[in-house]
Amino acid sequence: MPEGDTVFLAGHRMHEALAGKMLRRGELRHPRLAALDLSGLDVLGVRTYGKHMFTRFSDGNSLRSHFRMDGSWHLYRPGERWRRPAHQARAVFEVDDRQAIGFALHDLEFLPTADEDRLISHLGPDLLAAGFDAAEAVQRLTADPSRAIGLALLDQRIMAGVGNLYRAEVCFLLRVLPTAPVSSVDASRAVALSRKLLQANQWRPEQRTTGDLRAQHYVFERTGKPCLRCGTRVRSDEIEGRFVYFCPQCQSD
């Protein structure tokens, strides 16, 4: 699952490549949107919020896309070979000097730009927003003190942008198991760590959370490997169908 910083960086690159330019080709390969032809429209810009991306057009509408588990936007030069199969393309945008291809995108929706905020009104504060409201995120996080912190961190209604990677790393840095109740955690620190990790990686194509040359991450996808702190083998388990990673020595309930 892409994290909020992945979507942020993709949105920034899309904005740099397309903003202020006219679409020579604008196809949406989705059953509900296939009849739309966006060619001839100017791209006004690209905005992201959490894991949602909005591409804005000169007709007053926006395309909302969500990466879900395997979606992505790629940028290509004209004539450059695509790195994913053509049958996975859900959006094809072309300007004079670039192609933007959306692969395996989910929740595609074409809507008035004025309705963007309504569509995401259920989400918590965006961790990468300049005006991020930490107090509101803490309030939302602590609203259900008995809930497992590992589930709460993934809940985009609490704060938008955390995925499975940062869920694992934040729990490790808090020294708690993902199954620990929110009440056992310093909620302010959990929010601050989440924001810090996303901000540290928002301009990087590959996320790194450790600052250690031995490994990119403390526990994420390191099952069976030694913990960077204590040497105990990192373990993995499932919570509601999603893998969690943890050090049984460094983390506790």
Beta bridge mates, 76: 99
226 carries an active-site annotation? no
80 carries an active-site annotation? no
CA angle, corner 174, sides to 128 and 213, nearest 5?
75
Contact call for residues 49 and 123 (beta carbons, < 8 A)? yes
Question: Which residues are within 8 A (CB) of 82 and not within 5 positions of it... i.e. 6 or more apart?
Answer: 74, 76, 89, 101
Interatomic CA distance for residues 207 and 111, integer angstroms: 32
Determine whether 118 is exposed, middle or buried from the number of CB atoms within 10 Å of its CB (0-12, 13-18, 19+). Answer: exposed
Q: What does residue 175 show for φ and ψ, rounded to 5 degrees?
A: 65, 35
Question: Which residues are within 8 A (CB) of 81 and not within 5 positions of it... i.e. 6 or more apart?
Answer: none
Active-site choice (51, 56, 90, 98)? 51
Contact call for residues 234 and 227 (beta carbons, < 8 A)? yes
125 carries an active-site annotation? no
68 carries an active-site annotation? no
Active-site choice (31, 116, 242, 248)? 242
Active-site choice (3, 27, 94, 169)? 3
Catalytic site positions: 2-3, 51, 242
